[in-house]
Amino acid sequence: MIDVLCSALLGAWAGVPASAGHGEPAGSFWRSWPAAARPLIGVAVAGLVYAVGRRRLVRRGAGDVVPGWRAWCFGLGLLAIAIALLSPLASYSERLFSMHMAQHLLLLLIAPPLLWLGAPLPPVLWGLPPDWRHGVGRRLAPGRWLARVGHALAVPAVAAAAYVATVAVWHVPAFYDAAQGRTITHDLEHALFLGTALLYWWPVIHPSGGRRRLSYGRAIPYLLPPFLEGMLIGAVIAFADRPIYRTYAEVEPTWGLSVLDDQQLGGLIMWVPGGLLFLVPVIGLLAMLFREEERMAANRGPRGRHANGRPQKEAPRGIG
């Protein structure tokens, strides 16, 4: 396996010719930048609107709503999308299954939580022209139809089901092969990956930095279903003894990787790094949970008293 990986890295620098019918670049990896206008415009507009909105909030003395670390998170989230869709990774994902798996991890597990950590809702609203901002703000007000739809979609069970179903369906060979190449179906696949991932992370990280739908303790088991799904799909792909996807079985070997080598590497990427990426929020949630419990214990004080010395009222007892 080490020899295969070394050959792949050397091949990335040396370059490989494109095979007919897939639209792959003929240059070396680092010179193969895709011409994808829509993702480029989307990333650029999102970054510009966010930056303008944050600047306006700072000028109004509300810069603490979006501190610097949140702006960095949002920028890194946009960078993850750019790497997935606008870098040589996107060009070579049409030849290498492993590249496509790395692309999926960026869209599913890296970009969405970073974008939400950027608390994008306030700066994006303030980055819009005044008339647009007031119109969108009215539609997002509590009780309005757009707010109700967002609230319903962000129910943890709904968000988790949408995420798990999307990942499962697009890894079915018939759907996966149909989405390859520079097609509308491929764009739809990526849009659904990013959209359902944003929806999935919403109950854990509120997009305006407000109150989350899930507490720290409840958010940890919430992360379990997609974690297990990724490990299962990755293991099935990694241990398959024949090519699963026709798309990659029809292209010539690249960088010294056979079709099965590439498939095994892609399965391992989904299995191992994908699983490790779930450990990061779990560790963070555990740390916040312990900190919250320590703070509550300090406020209660010894023998059921608050820190101010007054006795703590006993909570009413009841069913549940």
Please give, one letter per residue, the 3-state secondary structure of the chain: CHHHHHHHHHHHHHCCCCCCCCCCCCCCHHHCCCCCHHHHHHHHHHHHHHHHHHHHHHHCCCHHHCCHHHHHHHHHHHHHHHHHHHCHHHHHCCCCHHHHHHHHHHHHHHHHHHHHHCCCHHHHHHHCCHHHHHHHHHHHCCCCHHHHHHHHHCCHHHHHHHHHHHHHHHCCHHHHHHCCCCCHHHHHHHHHHHHHHHHHHCCCCCCCCCCCCCCHHHHHHHCHHHHHHHHHHHHHHHCCCCCCCHHHHCCCCECCECHHHHHHHHHHHHHHHHHHHHHHHHHHHHHHHHHHHHHHHHHHCHHHECCCCCECCCCCCCCC
- Please tell me the distance from the alpha carbon of residue 189 to that of residue 66, in angstroms, as a whole number: 31
Task: Return the structure tokens found at 197.
Answer: 């991932």
Q: What are the Cα distances from residue 168, in Å, to 55, 162, 225?
A: 41, 10, 12
Q: What pLDDT is attached to residue 158?
A: 94
- Please tell me the distance from the alpha carbon of residue 202 to that of residue 205, in angstroms, as a whole number: 5
- Please tell me the distance from the alpha carbon of residue 15 to that of residue 98, in angstroms, as a whole number: 17
Q: Which residue has the higher pLDDT, 87 or 4?
A: 87
**pLDDT (tens digit per residue) in 74-102:** 999 999 999 999 999 988 888 889 999 99
Find how far residue 49's CA is from the centre of its chain. 20
Q: What is the pTM assigned to this prediction?
A: 0.81
- Whether 194 has a pLDDT exceeding 70, the answer reads yes
Q: What are the Cα distances from residue 239, in Å, to 180, 242, 253, 260?
A: 22, 9, 19, 9
Q: What pLDDT is attached to residue 15?
A: 37
- Please tell me the distance from the alpha carbon of residue 257 to that of residue 126, in angstroms, as a whole number: 49
Question: 283 exposed, middle or buried (CB, 10 Å; 0-12, 13-18, 19+)?
Answer: exposed
Compute the average pLDDT of residues 53-66: 90
- Indicate left, alpha or beta for 12 from its phi (over 0: left) and psi (-120 to 50: alpha): alpha
* pLDDT tier for residue 266 given thresholds of 50, 70 and 90: very high
- Whether 31 has a pLDDT exceeding 70, the answer reads yes
* pLDDT tier for residue 169 given thresholds of 50, 70 and 90: very high
- Indicate left, alpha or beta for 67 from its phi (over 0: left) and psi (-120 to 50: alpha): beta
